[in-house]
Each structure stands twice: as C-alpha cells, then as structure tokens.
Structure 1
Amino acid sequence: MQSTRKVTEDIIWVGCDDRRTALFENLFPIPRGVSYNSYLILDEKVTVMDTVDASVTAQYLDNLTYALAGRSVDYLVIQHMEPDHCANIEELMKRYPQMKVVGNAKTIQMIQQFFAIDTDNRVVLVKEGDTLSTGKHTLHFVMAPMVHWPEVMVSYEETTKILFAADAFGTFGALNGGLFDDEVDLDAEWVKDARRYYSNIVGKYGMQVQALLKKAAAFDIQMICSLHGPVWREKIAWVVEKYDLWSRYEPEDRAVAIFYGSIYGHTEQAVNALACALAEKGVKRIKAYDVSTTHVSELIAECFRCSHIVLASPTYNGGIYPPMENLLTDMKALAVQKRTVAVMDNGTWAPTAGKQIVKCLEEMKEMNVLDLKLSIKSALKQERAEELDAFAKQIADAL
C-alpha cells in the first residue's frame, strides 16, 4: 500500500519513514525514527529528486509506482551520494532504461565507487548555474560542497519556488503523516532533533553552510524540501535563522550546561552542589548531564545550544575519564567554539584531568576558559564551600 503526499499538484513526496533503525549511520540514536525523503516531479519530463535508504526500498518502489500511475521516469537528479539517499540508483536505472542520471562530476565518480553499473550515455552532467527544464518546471543547480559531502548540490525550482536542499535543513524523526512544518509540533518534537542533526551531521562545516546560505539568499524560496524531516513552508525564516546561528557557532541560549563524569558518585555530588549554588545566584534552566549515560550526540547538541559549559571529570588512569575525553574529541571534531567553559576535576591521589581538559580546549577556537578551576581530592568537603561559591560566582558573572 502506498503512502505518498502532495507537495504541490504535480510534485509528490514519495519518501519513506523508518522507525526500525535504532542508530542513524550506525552511530546516532533515533528513538523517533527518521524519514528518507524523495520527490517526484510530474511534468513533460518526469523527474525524481534523489532516492532513499536500502532499508525501505520495497515501500519506496510502491510509492513511486503509485505516484507515476503508469508513466516512466526521464530524469533522476542526484543531489547527495550518501547511501541513505543513493541506495536505489541502480534499481531505478534498471527499471527505467531510458532514464538519465543528472549530477555533477563528483556525483558520477561516486556512482562508480558505489555501484558496478554502466552510466555511458545516461548522464546529464551539470555544474554551478546550470539549469534543467522538465516542461513547465526549471531546476537551477547550485553546488554546496561539504554540506556535508563534497559532491552535494541543491536545486531551486523556479515555478514553484521550491529549494530541494539535499541534507541541508534536515532533521531526525519520522514524519508520521505530517509532511509540512505546520502539520507537526515543532517545539515539542522537532527542535531538539533538528539541532542534534545539524550539530552532529553538518556541524563541522559552518563555513560551507554560510556559503550555501549566501547563495540561497539570491532566490525567492517559498518552500524547502530537505532529504530528512518536514517540508518547510511556514517556518522557513525560523530554520534559516537557526542554520545561520549554528553555522556561525553562536549559542542559541545564554544558559549553562554541566557535563560530568562520576565513577562512584563523588564528582556527581560536587556537580549537584554547584548546580544549587548557580541557582541561588539567579541562574535559570541549568542542565546537568552524565557523560556516561547521555549519548554524546545529545551533549554536542547542547554545546551548540548553550553559551556556558562546565566540564567536571574524574582523573582516570592518569588521564581524562574516557566518556569525557570522547566528548572533548567530538567537540574538537565538530568545531565547537565561542563558548565560555569552567573546569572541575577530581582525583584521590593525582587530580590531573583538569589540566588535560584545558589543553584540549586550547586546541579549539575562541574558547574562553574561566580562570578559577575547582580541583577535588576524592570528595568535596563542607570546608571548601567558599571555593565552590567562588567557582559558581565566576560562571554566574560570566553570564
């Protein structure tokens, strides 16, 4: 049974929801699932915009066959060659032998890397600024390298003023029938997943996202069709503003997130005391996360959201507690920057994690590490209440 939605009268969403996959890219938890979006343009020349993941091929082919209503496919536009979007290229080429594959030079190279298929005489090679007319629709191709793969391009359709945006403006989460942003509960369900998707998938490439935003600003965009998540039509300004903020590495909120590791509970106890001290100084909406039980993708998303971060770690084997070290590695890899950071460490005989954390932070851009550190030996005692208060005060003052 098909499950399709009309984007316009002649552009149809033929994508699929996936609620069975536990880990996106076998890495990121997706408790709300994920959508793989593909779009069909019914015109004089029938055009498919990207395909879907192999895990949902059967449903996808049902959707596409239903929407085609006996017609064939003339063009397959490939905007992104990641397997969750390109998995069905070979299948469509076999089903529709007259179909042309539209892509840039890097796209065609990657097709040969993924598939053992003959693309001779079946390729329409495009570059920046090229157009493709399908009849009453015209696609303008815009290169978007490293958002977030080198071959990525996006396509602006001038008649409907739709930007087919590849992975840009995407988010985790299955659509559950609600295709458009005004059909879903953005605040309750989608904002966190949009932030976590961006920060972990695209976060490293802020400069390239800024370049794409500048190119996109030249078009009158009335709808954004991403390859994951809802179609943006009401909240376009909102999602573009978020992408601008995130890609400039500016925090969304003046807020404090505390990331801590704790082996036997003593560091956690100190963190709880710190949180109370911060609250007493007027700091609101404090968030504390155990790095051992919170997936690192959630922590990275909070790094992108919050202006101020506290890192509290035990010393472990003379180094940083491994889950905390993992967070720091991801922070560096995903270009977290422009944050104010306070550092706390613990160690029964040699609390050295703090110095090593500072060294890691020095390898990141524009990280303001607060001068006053708090170093604990085993447990935070009451006689050090004034030190804790001073540590909390510098964080509150920095806000």
Structure 2
Amino acid sequence: MKERAEKMKVTDEIIYVGVNDHDIDLFEGQYIVPNGMAYNSYVIRDEKIAVMDTVDEAFGEEWLENVKNALDGAKPEYLIIQHMEPDHSANIEKFMEVYPDTKIVGNAKTFTMISNFFRNLDLEGKKVVVKNQEKLELGKHILTFVFAPMVHWPEVMVTYDSTDKVLFSADGFGKFGALDVEEDWDCEARRYYFGIVGKYGVQVQNLLKAASALEIEKICPLHGPVLSENLEHYLGQYQTWSSYGVESEGVMIAYTSVYGNTKKAAELLGEKLKEKGCPKVVVCDLAREDMAEAVEDAFRYGKLVLATITYNGDIFPFMRTFIEHLKERNYQNRTIGLIENGSWASTAGKVIAGMLEKSKNITMLEKPVKIMSSLSEENLKELDEMAEELMK
C-alpha cells in the first residue's frame, strides 16, 4: 500500500512534496518500522524555484506528481541534494529527464557520489558546486549551505533559509514513521538517532554549534514531521543525545537467559529497585526485544545492568550483539552492573569487562552478582546490595 502524504505548506513559499511508505518492513535492512517511513522533499517557490532532495526509488512517480502540482506550471531552477543515501537521492535521474534544464546543487563529495550511483547521467553544465557557508539567492529567499560531514555520510550538508528562518536538516531531527500516523516524536526519533546517527556524536555537536548561531523557526528534516513548535525541546534532545548525556533517571536491566534463572535474577533486581523508589526501571529480554529499542533504552538511562550466562566459554549471542551495538555507537558516561551465571566455569563477567574496557567514562560496580546455576541466599543479598548501590 502506497499512500500519498497530505499536501501541505510549510510557509507561504515552501511546499511539502514528500511521500509516505507503508510497504517497508525494515528501514536500512534492519530497523523495524511498524508505522512505515516518510521520505520528505520540499519545493521553495521564488523567482528561481528550488526543489529540496528527492525520495526513495519506489515512489518516484508519486513524488514527481507532487512536485508537478507544487510547481503549478513553473519550471525549477535548482535541485538541491543535501544527502546522497538512495532513500533521498534515488530519483535524481528521473527528475532530470522531466526537468532537463535544472541545475543540481551539491558539494564536491555530492557529485562524486552522484557519478557512482548514476553511471550514465551527464551533468555537463548543470552542476552548481557549493562550499561550506556559501549562499544561493533564489530571489527573496537566500539559502546558506552548512556542511555536516558524517552526520551521517561524508557529503551531508544542511540548508538554512534566512528569509523564512527554516532549517532543512537532512537526516537530523528525523524519526521513523510515516506522516499519516500519529505517534510520540521522542521515542521514534531517539531510536532513529541512536540506531543511525549515534556513532557520530562529535559531528552532531559541531552541527548544533553551527545551528546555534541561526534564528530557526521551523525544522524540515528528510524523515518525520516538520517541527515548528517547542523547538527548544528537540534541540535539547539532540544536545543530550549527541553528548552521550543521561536523558532520564533510571536503570535498564538487559538480560539473556536459557532456563530462567538469570531472568529471575534480573526481574528480582528490578523489583528491588522499584521498592527502593527508582524513578524508572526497564527490564529487557534481549532475545525477544527489538534490538534497536534495547539500544535506545541503554542510551536513555544513566545506569545499566547486564545479566547473562556463560555460553561456550563466552557470553550468550544476544548479549554479545547488544554490547557490540553499544560499542559501535560510542556508549559512554554510564554506570554498569554485572550479573553473571555459570554452572561450572563462569567467564561471562570477564568477557563483558573486556568488551567494555575501551569505552569512555564507564563506571563498573565493584561487586558483580555471580550465580552458580540458580539463585542462592547469598545471591539474594548481593542483589539487594546492587540495588542499593544503583540507587546512590
């Protein structure tokens, strides 16, 4: 099912021409998107008309129809490419077939990628290669291009319209979910950020610093809704996420269990934390939870408990995958407790400590809980002590 996004005006001269995708099951081949995805594109109408980005290949005809309706008989002067991932750039060639006199605006890295994606596309005389902070005048609207390398590809740039005070933010401030579905922004934007952009906190911080000098009234991302109210909240969330700060006070307990004994320990610790007044406790079975949701929670809260078994002299595969996801995204500035279970040679705690030894600013609780097959009276006492320590 392919549904058309509701036609809307962002401002009097900026028109939304994106599409909704409800065919997709996995975004980027790995992220579950039960509410689909939005691929956003915009038309800026002025003396010279600019189209901002394209959409996924499967929606080319629908997008071109949206563009045609927004142009209302006029011809575009520019197609501005902020990001070359195919869910945004796949229809460049189709667009140029329909509007052959259009000039494509991008940076040097953009055009290198265009030549790699579109081997037979001849852009002789149709390239406008811009530099960082360079301006483009459309008439009333003056656009400034701000390079954002590795947020999250090297060619990425964002565009600021100083006339309407609109920031076209590329993948920044995006979220999972189509625009015809109502859902909380924070949850799906957080999962999107840490899943896709999370590794590049330093680069996002650089972009936020550049954006802080701009007067922004609206943010137009390439995924998710146009943001026009409470911008301080969205900017604040990105500040927290990109600096690897703690968003919410609480404890996440992530566990893997085969016969239920490690699960029992994880759930008992969760109960003890709640009894002691912990503001939020999240208990997650890594074998059954969406891994992207688990990663999101690990970054959201300031304290994490990893509970797993020794498995083939290592740790259970879902726990290893989870920790590798955290490491890949530069997990840092957190307190971690360990619960390890081993029926004979217990090595889980040692393996986990080794995996995290190069992570920045990780505080490991001094006393892990070591279970031998099933919970002992001593383990019950240790879990209570761990809960006390986590509450400090």
Instruction: Please state which band the TM-score falls in when normalised by the shorter chain.
Output: over 0.9
Show CA shifts across 1:162-210 (max 9, x none): 1111111111111117xxxxxx6xxx52210011111111111111111
CA distance in 2, matches of 1:206, 1:37: 24
Q: Is the 8 A contact 2:5 2:20 kept in 1?
A: no
1:212 pairs with one of 207, 211, 214: 207
- Residue 54 (str. 1) matches residue 57 (str. 2): yes
* 8 A contact 1:130–1:141 mirrored in 2: yes
Aligned in 2, Cα 1:44/1:282: closer, same or farther, shift over 3 Å? same
1:69 Cα deviation after fit:
1.5
Whichever residue aligns with residue 156 of structure 1, its letter is Y
- Describe the shift of the 1:213–1:383 C-alpha distance in structure 2 as closer, same or farther (beyond 3 A): closer
Q: How does 1:8-19 map to 2 (within 5 A)?
A: 8-19=11-22
Letter in 2 for 1:129: Q
* CA–CA separation in structure 2 for the residues paired with 1:391 and 1:79: 48
Identify the match of residue 76 of structure 1 among 72, 76, 79. 79
Match of 2:245 in 1: 250
Give me the whole-angstrom Cα distance separating, in 1, the residues matched to 2:366 and 2:53: 51
Within the alignment, does 1:312 sit opposite 2:307 as a pair?
yes
Unaligned runs of 5+ in 1: 178-183
In structure 2, how many angstroms separate the alpha carbons of the residues matched to 1:9 and 1:65?
17
Number of residue pairs aligned between Structure 1 and Structure 2? 388
- Superposition misfits of 4+ residues, deviation over 4 angstroms: none
Q: Deviations over 1:27-47 (max 9, x none)?
A: 100112111100001111111
Aligned to 2:135: 131
Q: Which residue of 2 aligns with 1:380?
A: 375
Is 1:344 matched up with 2:348?
no
The AA in structure 2 aligned to 1:279 is: K
Shift of 1:378: 1.1
Match of 2:294 in 1: 299
Q: CA deviation at 1:383?
A: 4.9
CA distance in 2, matches of 1:2, 1:211: 32
Cα displacement string for residues 109-141 of structure 1 (whole angstroms, at most 9, x for unaligned residues):
000011121111110010012111111111011
The amino acid across from 1:112 in the alignment is S
Structure-2 residue corresponding to 1:95: 98
| Matched-pair contact (CA < 8 Å) for 1:2–1:63 | no
| 8 Å contact from structure 1 (residues 3, 63) kept in 2 | no
SS at match of 2:184: helix
1:147 maps to which residue?
151
The 3 A distance-change label for structure 1 pair 261 and 294 is: same
Distance 1:53 1:371 in 2: 50
Query: What is the Cα deviation at residue 24 of structure 1?
Result: 0.6
Any idea what SS the aligned residue of 1:239 has? Answer: helix
The aligned amino acid for 2:104 is V
Q: Is the 8 A contact 1:141 1:154 kept in 2?
A: yes
Which secondary structure does the structure 2 equivalent of 1:368 belong to? strand
- Distance in 1 of aligned mates of 2:163 and 2:391: 52
Q: Secondary structure at the match of 1:257?
A: strand
Aligned pair partner of 1:112 in 109, 112, 115: 115
Secondary structure at 2:186's aligned position in 1? helix
Partner of 1:181: none
2:385, 2:231 → 1: CA distance?
A: 44
The residue that corresponds to 2:171 in the other structure is: 167
Identity across matched positions, percent: 47
Q: Is the deviation greater in 238-247 or in 54-63?
A: 54-63
Q: How far apart are 1:382 and its partner, in Å?
A: 3.6
Provide the C-alpha distance between the structure 1 equivalents of 2:179 and 2:252, rounded to a whole number of angstroms: 30
Partner Cα distance (1:44, 1:366) in 2: 53
Structure-1 separation of matches of 2:273 and 2:143: 53
Give, in whole Å, the separation in 2 of the partners of 1:50 and 1:384: 57
Which residue identity is paired with 1:63? N
Q: Aligned-pair distance for 1:391?
A: 2.2
Residue 33 of structure 1 corresponds to which residue in structure 2?
36
- Residue 354 of structure 1 aligns to a residue whose secondary structure is helix
Give the whole-Å Cα distance in 2 for the aligned partners of 1:327 and 1:31. Answer: 21
Give me the TM-score of the superposition, normalised by structure 1: 0.95
Q: Secondary structure of the residue that 1:340 maps to in structure 2? A: strand
* Aligned counterpart for 1:20 among listed residues 19, 23, 27: 23
* 2-structure distance, mates of 1:246, 1:387: 32
Amino acid at match of 1:41: I
In structure 2, give the amino acid aligned to 1:80. H
Q: What's the RMSD between the two structures over aligned residues? A: 1.3
From 316, 330, 343, give the equivalent of 2:325: 330
1:287 aligns with 2:282: yes
Which among 236, 247, 258 is matched to residue 231 of structure 2? 236
Contact 1:249 1:338 in 2 (8 A): yes
Answer yes or no: is 1:395 the counterpart of 2:390: yes
Equivalent position amino acid for 1:61 in 2: L
2:198 is matched with 203
TM-score of the pair, normalised by structure 2? 0.96
Q: Structure 2: give runs of 5+ residues left out of the alignment.
A: none
Secondary structure of the corresponding residue to residue 312 of structure 1? strand
**Contact persistence 1:141–1:155 (CA under 8 A):** yes
The separation in 1 between residues aligned to 2:107 and 2:69, in whole angstroms, is 29
Counterpart residue type for residue 120 of structure 1: E
Q: Is the 8 A contact 2:338 2:349 kept in 1?
A: yes
CA contact (8 A) 1:74 1:99 kept: yes
The one-character-per-residue Cα deviations of 1:202-253 (angstroms, maximum 9, x if unpaired) are 1111111111111111111111111011111112111001111111100101
Q: Name the residue aligned to 2:264.
A: 269
